[in-house]
A and B are shown apart, each in its own frame.
Chain A
């Protein structure tokens, strides 16, 4: 492991301690801490959960229970670009399932998976509030609307380089 990576990780743990200290004593602090920790690390590996458990004085089983209950929290590392295809009702009735299927086919992965090169993770989401543009997908917060299947290869290509 290179020196730079190591220090970045150490720095993250340092910041995690600060996050925990900031919320300590607040009631219901666990979920806000998990949100911020995930923001920091990109996901919530067991080691991070252990630190949180120690820091907040919440049993590890409970931390793990909460992490696995909510779909926003992830135990595995995500790709650099997160493709979220809206499967909200408005998008679904305008054909977003076909859009999702096409993306999975183009990237040759399953839903929730990350491509081997670590570039893309594909997920289905609920309404993102852009029903007027249905069907819609988001890549790292940037929305693409009024999609047809054949738009997909071009969109993916944009992020590959």
Chain B
């Protein structure tokens, strides 16, 4: 084993890789060599730290200096200062993490202060491609503990006392599913991990798989022991190449170490794992559709009952849990159910990971104790709304969820309270919208997604959502009619009640919640033919402000359809009938004399 005087952690999550973190690693290696210090400093490529907005993120230990948005051209200077001269390169330090001249501990930085890392405990801390690092952080100790000290019933009892609920969206108690599957009769049973992450604006599960794949593997083996299964499947989206690669590495390492396979730790418990790739179908996140897909079939849902716990994969008893649900399990076993139950609110224990995106200053991955308010997430962790704009709504639960308006910013986040205000916890997508976002357009966006993704098996979902989309499109194009809102609501309830699976049953939620809180915006589109947020192109017009126009003619030259005319010294004018609303003139005007109205 080598001893290093310093460690440099570089985020290798998808976000930071997109901003060039891998080139950084290569350049670092070269620079270290140049100074002859390559054996003194360890480079660790980790999973996501959470602050993707500031990527690529680099942390140097033992000092704990947090550098953000580091570029290749900064590396020579960084190496020279930080590692050769031993001085902090202030210009690159994330400003929040410095207090005067002192480095603040990361846990004191606003973004991290209110977070509590349980499921993400190892993400950004260990090298996910190295099982030894996981082992050094108590990895596979939970599996060892249950194999030698517990019965399957003990394990299920721990899940019950901890009160762990599924993190994939519905919040179903983990122990119940496991109990059903344990009691079910079958010569073979299966453990399946849902890593299909279908919410179009979310990446929590992906980050866990990229940053800490072993914790999911360990938890699946624990589940296998609890229900009496020897075979697990992880169903991952094919769109997640880095996650798939790290999972494969992790599974192979675990097999080499004898942690997966026959007679684990010399006991008579055997457990094996295989990966199955999704192929781009949102409905496959639904558990029965997912099972069909693992079986190599079209991913259409099955009617329930029978429930998977009795008749699941290959018609055998099966449990299915989400990635984040699994990631919580090893630490619950090690620290005990009481420890876990103390985090969060009375009915929702533990933490929840959210992919915070959209209009906040900090975006990225956040993990908060249940019961944290939306306000704390948006303003304390997220750093507020950029450009002095006003908060308008937060979207949770993706296409199955809803929009939460400003009046509910102080709602503590847990399964039940979110449901009460017309949204759902969902799997963890959390998109913040400001006054420039049109709520009718957002409803249309999600309905468009659903129409695309409806598997077509049942009529209410296949045909009903299409009709809803057509109505929404009409409204955003200024062709809405009196009574459309009521028609939308009526159809929404029918689809909700009559669809076969969760996709259709929840598909109307974004529409219903935006009507509930932003009815006036729908009315403005329908009655006044106006889009208050200025998003819906068909309802906009560009006008030239007479008192600001200097008659320079630049707008007329730039207009692609030549619909702006004017003479020197008199203000120019736009022919509204010919205008295609491309906005080129507004961008071109050097005096800000053209506005959207």
A residues in contact (CB < 8 Å) with B: 27-32, 34-35, 58, 62, 65-66, 69-73, 87-94, 125-134, 136, 141, 143, 145
Is B259 part of the contact surface with A, judged by Cβ < 8 Å?
A: no
Pairs A–B under 8 Å by Cβ, sample size 13? A27-B296, A30-B296, A31-B296, A32-B277, A70-B278, A88-B202, A89-B199, A89-B431, A90-B201, A126-B200, A127-B355, A129-B15, A132-B55
Expressed in whole angstroms, the minimum distance between the Cβ of B311 and any Cβ of chain A is: 16
B19: chain A residues at CB < 8 Å are 130, 133, 143, 145
B442: chain A residues at CB < 8 Å are 93
Is B238 part of the contact surface with A, judged by Cβ < 8 Å?
A: yes
Residue of B201, B277, B299, B300 with most partner-chain A CB within 10 A: B201
Is B504 part of the contact surface with A, judged by Cβ < 8 Å?
A: no
User: A129 contacts B363, CB within 8 Å?
Assistant: no
Bound CA–CA A88/B358 (angstroms): 10
User: B238 contacts A132, CB within 8 Å?
Assistant: no
Q: Which of B47-73 contact A (CB under 8 A)?
A: 51-55
Is B445 part of the contact surface with A, judged by Cβ < 8 Å?
A: yes
Contact with A along B449-488 (1 / 0, CB 8 A): 0000001000000000000000000000000000000000
Expressed in whole angstroms, the minimum distance between the Cβ of B427 and any Cβ of chain A is: 11
The residue on B at minimum CB distance from A94 is B358
Is B418 part of the contact surface with A, judged by Cβ < 8 Å?
A: no
Q: Which of B391-423 contact A (CB under 8 A)?
A: 395, 398
User: A31 contacts B200, CB within 8 Å?
Assistant: no
B55: chain A residues at CB < 8 Å are 132-133
User: A31 contacts B279, CB within 8 Å?
Assistant: yes
User: B433 contacts A131, CB within 8 Å?
Assistant: no
Further contacts, 11 of them, CB under 8 A, given A32-B296, A62-B297, A132-B364: A28-B294, A30-B296, A30-B297, A31-B276, A88-B201, A89-B357, A89-B429, A93-B358, A127-B203, A129-B207, A131-B355
User: B18 contacts A143, CB within 8 Å?
Assistant: yes
Bound CA–CA A52/B364 (angstroms): 42
The residue on A at minimum CB distance from B203 is A129
Q: Which of B242-298 contact A (CB under 8 A)?
A: 276-281, 293-298
Expressed in whole angstroms, the minimum distance between the Cβ of B202 and any Cβ of chain A is: 6
Expressed in whole angstroms, the minimum distance between the Cβ of B52 and any Cβ of chain A is: 3
The residue on A at minimum CB distance from B198 is A126
User: A28 contacts B295, CB within 8 Å?
Assistant: yes
B199: chain A residues at CB < 8 Å are 89, 127
Q: Which of B286-325 contact A (CB under 8 A)?
A: 293-300, 314
B203: chain A residues at CB < 8 Å are 127, 129, 131
Bound CA–CA A69/B203 (angstroms): 24
Bound CA–CA A52/B395 (angstroms): 43
CB-CB nearest 7 A-B residue pairs: A89-B201, A132-B52, A90-B357, A143-B18, A70-B279, A131-B357, A28-B296
Could you say which of B52, B281, B364, B431 contacts A70, with CB atoms under 8 Å apart?
Answer: B281
A126: chain B residues at CB < 8 Å are 198, 200-201, 239
Bound CA–CA A35/B279 (angstroms): 8
Expressed in whole angstroms, the minimum distance between the Cβ of A144 and any Cβ of chain B is: 8
User: B293 contacts A125, CB within 8 Å?
Assistant: no
B residues in contact (CB < 8 Å) with A: 13-15, 17-19, 51-55, 198-203, 206-207, 238-241, 276-281, 293-300, 314, 355, 357-359, 363-364, 395, 398, 429, 431, 433, 437, 442, 445, 455
Could you say which of A62, A128, A131 contacts B363, with CB atoms under 8 Å apart?
Answer: A131
User: B201 contacts A70, CB within 8 Å?
Assistant: no
B355: chain A residues at CB < 8 Å are 90, 127, 131
User: A89 contacts B358, CB within 8 Å?
Assistant: yes
Expressed in whole angstroms, the minimum distance between the Cβ of B211 and any Cβ of chain A is: 12
User: A72 contacts B14, CB within 8 Å?
Assistant: no
Expressed in whole angstroms, the minimum distance between the Cβ of A78 and any Cβ of chain B is: 14
A58: chain B residues at CB < 8 Å are 296
Bound CA–CA A89/B201 (angstroms): 5
Bound CA–CA A70/B284 (angstroms): 10
Bound CA–CA A139/B304 (angstroms): 41
Could you say which of A87, A133, A143 contacts B200, with CB atoms under 8 Å apart?
Answer: A87
Bound CA–CA A91/B239 (angstroms): 17
Could you say which of B52, B300, B358 contacts A130, with CB atoms under 8 Å apart?
Answer: B52
Bound CA–CA A77/B314 (angstroms): 34
Bound CA–CA A127/B53 (angstroms): 15
Question: Assuming the A-B contacts A28-B276, A129-B206, A136-B18, are A90 and B431 also in contact, with contact meaning beta carbons closer than 8 angstroms in the complex?
Answer: yes
Could you say which of B207, B238, B359, B364 contacts A93, with CB atoms under 8 Å apart?
Answer: B359
Bound CA–CA A71/B298 (angstroms): 12
User: A35 contacts B296, CB within 8 Å?
Assistant: no
B277: chain A residues at CB < 8 Å are 31-32, 35
User: A89 contacts B200, CB within 8 Å?
Assistant: yes
Bound CA–CA A32/B279 (angstroms): 10
The residue on A at minimum CB distance from B48 is A129
B51: chain A residues at CB < 8 Å are 132
User: A90 contacts B281, CB within 8 Å?
Assistant: no
Expressed in whole angstroms, the minimum distance between the Cβ of B198 and any Cβ of chain A is: 8
Bound CA–CA A134/B15 (angstroms): 10
A35: chain B residues at CB < 8 Å are 238, 277, 279
User: A130 contacts B14, CB within 8 Å?
Assistant: yes
User: B201 contacts A128, CB within 8 Å?
Assistant: no
User: B357 contacts A145, CB within 8 Å?
Assistant: no
Could you say which of B54, B239, B278, B455 contacts A128, with CB atoms under 8 Å apart?
Answer: B239
Bound CA–CA A119/B206 (angstroms): 30
User: B363 contacts A90, CB within 8 Å?
Assistant: yes
A93: chain B residues at CB < 8 Å are 357-359, 431, 433, 437, 442
Expressed in whole angstroms, the minimum distance between the Cβ of A44 and any Cβ of chain B is: 11
User: B280 contacts A70, CB within 8 Å?
Assistant: yes
